[in-house]
Amino acid sequence: MKPNITICILCLTLLTGCAHTNQQVLDMGDETQLQRRSYQSRIFETTDKEKVLRAVISTLQDLGFVIDRADLVLGSVSATKWDRHQIKITVSVRDRGSDRMLVRANAQFNVKPVEDPKQYQNFFSSLEKSLFLTAHAGE
């Protein structure tokens, strides 16, 4: 019977170690989720989700990304860029009230999250220009 007790103790020890590891994986460092969302998100004054998603795709392509996946129903675009390192980005577009769209970008450099607000500001600045050009293309 002693080997069964030893196996049970070993299994419990391993499970405890896994639980600790998962906690570290989900921990995102010193920043709060609210701080992170503040620089990863922008609200645009439009109700046209498809237009925003098309502008996101155009902006990412202009920045050298290759679109991996785009889904109008889910309102998401995923893209990858190889610039000596792998850069991945996922952008989601959701209704924010009846007259606005919330756009949130989440980027990774290799396997580490991009936490520099300036990088997100650059993306959103390019997206704003793309939306402006799209809105005024017919004039």
The alpha carbon of residue 58 and the mean position of all alpha carbons in its chain are separated, in whole angstroms, by 17
Helix axes 117-135, 49-62, angle to 10 degrees: 120
Mean pLDDT value of segment 94-112:
94
Residues 6+ apart with CB under 8 A from 62: 126, 130
Long-range contacts of 77-80, Cβ-Cβ distance < 8 Å, separation of 24 or more: 77/53
Q: Provide the 3-class DSSP secondary structure of residue 59.
A: helix
pLDDT score, position 19:
47
Residues 6+ apart with CB under 8 A from 81: 63, 64, 65, 66, 87, 88, 89
Give the rounded percent of residues in the chain with a pLDDT score beyond 70: 76
CA distances from 58 to 30, 69, 126 (A): 33, 13, 10
| pTM (two decimals) | 0.73
Tokens of 109: 């450099």
Mean pLDDT value of segment 85-106:
95
Q: Provide the 3-class DSSP secondary structure of residue 72.
A: coil
Give yes or no for residue 104 having a pLDDT over 50: yes
Which domains are seen in the chain, by residue range?
30-135 (3.30.310.80)
Give yes or no for residue 68 having a pLDDT over 60: yes
